[in-house]
């Protein structure tokens, strides 16, 4: 299957030690066809808060409609209702949450077939289509949960978000500094349910592999640190 081949290609670089900063330029190492996107739970609140706090003031303004402070972001992360909403994320090899989407289901009984989408991507991870990938993943889940209309509320200057919505076929309406986009979703099918099961399983497997690889490199770094300490002590000991 194509997704199996893509996931194997995506995993080739996992056994290289993590490095600081951005990876090789896109022209040297293009992103894999398959981007593992996993559903996040309450045990990921800390990483959700870290991701949002890593956004600069302007990006926080675009994501929330105001320049949210660290305290406001922490309250947001603590208030996410994982029993109702869905959070989707993309992790790098250092287990940093580099892109995240919040699919919030309507609590209004008259709008029970509606949901709202919000997304954020760290600057170091932009230009790879992660926002669009997260939108597609969220739309798939919303469709399978019986949602018929997906809404996006954004500032008119948030052209990246509105471009994602437009490319997906959403109708975008601007009203001064604010914009609203809505997309009608098709009814769920057996294929859409199976597709979501497959992509979630691939993402969960990818995450477990990243955890194991990070643990290995952390252990190796610890051993090397101990070795350096021993060597320094031997050099500094009186002859």
Q: How many domains does the chain have?
A: 1
Question: Would 29 be classed as within a structural domain?
Answer: no
pLDDT at 227: 74
Contact 86, 39 (CB under 8 A): yes
Question: Would 9 be classed as within a structural domain?
Answer: no
Question: Would 14 be classed as within a structural domain?
Answer: no
pLDDT, one tens digit per residue, over 71-120 is: 999 999 999 999 999 999 999 988 899 999 999 998 887 777 899 999 99
Question: Would 218 be classed as within a structural domain?
Answer: yes
User: Residue 145: which residues within 8 A CB-CB, separation 6 or more?
Assistant: 105, 115, 188
Question: Would 16 be classed as within a structural domain?
Answer: no
**Given its phi and psi angles, is residue 127 left (phi above 0), alpha (psi -120 to 50 degrees) or beta?**
left
Question: Would 10 be classed as within a structural domain?
Answer: no
pLDDT, one tens digit per residue, over 118-138 is: 999 999 999 999 999 999 999
Comparing 79 with 211, which gets the higher pLDDT? 79
Which domain CATH number covers 72?
3.40.630.30
- Residue 125 belongs to what domain range? 34-234
Range with lowest mean pLDDT among 38-47, 142-151, 211-220, 230-239: 230-239
Task: Label residue 20 by pLDDT band (50, 70, 90).
Answer: very low
């Amino acid at each position: 299957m194509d997704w199996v081949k893509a996931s194997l290609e995506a995993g080739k670089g996992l056994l290289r030690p993590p490095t600081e900063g951005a990876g090789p330029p896109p022209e040297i190492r293009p992103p894999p066809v398959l981007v593992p996107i996993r559903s996040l739970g309450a045990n990921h609140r800390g990483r959700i808060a870290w991701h949002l706090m890593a956004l600069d003031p302007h990006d926080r303004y675009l994501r929330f409609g105001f320049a949210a402070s660290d305290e406001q972001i922490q309250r947001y992360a603590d208030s996410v209702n994982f029993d109702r909403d869905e959070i989707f994320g993309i992790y790098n090899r250092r287990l940093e949450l580099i892109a995240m989407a919040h699919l919030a289901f309507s609590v209004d009984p008259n709008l029970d077939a509606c949901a709202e989408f919000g997304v954020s991507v760290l600057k170091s991870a932009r230009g790879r289509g992660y926002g669009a990938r997260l939108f597609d993943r969220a739309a798939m889940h919303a469709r399978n949960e019986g949602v018929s209309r997906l809404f996006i509320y954004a500032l008119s200057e948030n052209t990246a978000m509105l471009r994602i919505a437009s490319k997906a076929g959403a109708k975008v309406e601007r009203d001064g500094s604010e914009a609203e986009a809505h997309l009608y979703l098709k009814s769920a099918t057996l294929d859409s349910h199976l597709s979501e099961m497959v992509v979630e399983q691939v993402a969960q497997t990818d995450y477990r592999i990243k955890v194991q690889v990070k643990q290995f490199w952390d252990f190796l770094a610890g051993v090397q640190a101990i070795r350096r300490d021993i060597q320094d002590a031997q050099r500094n000991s009186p002859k």
